[in-house]
Amino acid sequence: MATVSTHVLDTTCGEPASGVTVVLQAQDGAEIASLVTDGDGRISDLSGEDLPTGVYRLVFGTGPYFSTKGVQAFNPEVVVSMVLGGHRHFHVPLLVSPFSYTTYRGS
């Protein structure tokens, strides 16, 4: 079983991206959770439960986030697909700007 968290950073201003909606989905597209990043751009536990091994997606609402800043984003959403498994915690940071993004498996 696994748990997952995230941290979104807005690289255009070098600050946490607060107010970003993040949806955790199962491989079949079923929604497991939908939460919003806090003032530090974080969500500490997306699932609220241990997840069985499998493929999952995080869907970040980057378009609406940048829209609140008066900026039109090239990517209206960022979808990160990943395999989660084992008795571990997975941290998935997202570095985002209106025209690009980067992600990695954090700790």
The binding site for substrate consists of 7, 42, 104
CA distance 73 to 47: 27
CA distance 97 to 66: 9
Query: Can you read off the two tokens belonging to residue 95?
Result: 């570095």
Q: What stretch of H or E contains 80? A: strand 78-84
Annotated binding site: 7, 42, 104
CA distance 47 to 34: 9
